[in-house]
Amino acid sequence: MFEDEWTIAAAREWGLWQLEPFIVDDVERQAQVDYVLTGLMEWNYAQLANNVNTVLADDVLTHFKEAIKKIKAGQPVQYALGQAAFFGREFVVDERVLIPRQETEELVAWALDSFSPLAPVQVLDLGTGSGAIAITVANERPHWVVTVSDVSRSALSVAKLNAQRLGAAVEFVESDLFTNIKPEFDLIISNPPYISENEKTAMDQSVLDYEPALALFADHDGLAVYEALAQQLLEHLKVGGQAYFEIGYQQGPAVVKLFKQLPHVSVKLKQDMSGHDRMVQLKREA
C-alpha cells in the first residue's frame, strides 16, 4: 500500500488513515487533509476534487507527510502547513503569531467599507501578529498609508516576511500599544488579546499548546488591553477618525460602556456571521 508514485487520491487516503486515531470526526479529518493538499498544490478545493489522479512531486509529498505528522502531534493544521488563508491571500504562520480567523476578516471588511478607497487614509494596525490585517488593508487600498506595530519582535519578523511575499507597502514599528507611536491616524484597527484566563477550560487544547499566549490572554476578565487603549486612543485618533477593535463574544456591553466614557466619541457594536458580539467601531466626532 502507498508505494511507487503517489497521486492526490492516494495521499488523501493515506492522510485520512494516519489521522483517524487522532481526529474522530470524519468531516473534520477530511477538511484538514484537504487543507494541507490545497495549500501545498496552491489549488482551490474544486481543483483538488478535479485532479485526484495528479501525481505529487517528491518535495510536495515530503511536505505533505511532514504536515500530517505535525497534525498527529496536535499542531493546528495552519501551523503544520505553515500558512493560513486570510481575505483571499496566504499568510505565513508559525508559533510566533496567532492564526488569522474569519471573524477578523469581518472586522477588516467593516473598516474597509467605511472609508473611500481613494481617500488619503492614515492607518495603524496595533498588535499585528502575522500582519494579516495591515497587509490586507494595504493591498486592498494601495492609496492608504499603513503603519504596522507589535510588542513582539518575533511576530514583527513574521509580518515583515508576509509583507515582502505579498508586496505590501507598510511601515513597521516595535511598540507596546501606543508607546512608540507618534502620529495621529484616520483609522486604527486591532485584534488585541481579549481572552480571560477563566476561559482556558473551554478552549481547544491545540490553541493553548501552540498559539502565543501573549496574543490571546488579557487581565481583568480580558478587558485590560481595551482599558489601556481607551486611555491613549484620542491622542492618536484624528478628529473624524475611526477605530475598529475585535472583542470577545461576551464583552460587548463592557467594551461599549468603556469607550462611551471617552468625550465626543460614538460607539457601535456589531455581530459576526454567527450572531455573536464580535467588534466595535468608534468614531471621533468633531
What does the pLDDT read at residue 2?
53
Q: Which residues are annotated as a binding site for S-adenosyl-L-methionine?
A: 127-131, 150, 191
What does the pLDDT read at residue 143?
93
Q: Which residues are annotated as a binding site for substrate?
A: 191-194
What does the pLDDT read at residue 3?
56
* Domain residue spans of the chain: 8-81, 96-284
Q: Answer yes or no: is pLDDT of 133 > 90.
A: yes
Model's pTM, two decimal places?
0.93
Q: Which residues are annotated as a binding site?
A: 127-131, 150, 191-194
Identify the residue with better confidence: 119 or 141.
141
Q: What is the mean pLDDT of residues 73-87?
A: 97
Q: Say which residue the cell 513574521 belongs to.
A: 158
Q: What is the mean pLDDT of residues 39-60?
A: 96
User: What CATH number was assigned to the domain covering residues 8-81?
Assistant: 1.10.8
Q: Say which residue the cell 484597527 belongs to.
A: 189
Mean per-residue pLDDT over the chain, rounded: 96
Q: Answer yes or no: is pLDDT of 264 > 80.
A: yes
Q: What is the pLDDT of residues 16-35, one digit of tens each?
A: 999 999 999 999 999 999 99
| Architecture of the domain defined by 96-284 | 3-Layer(aba) Sandwich (3.40)
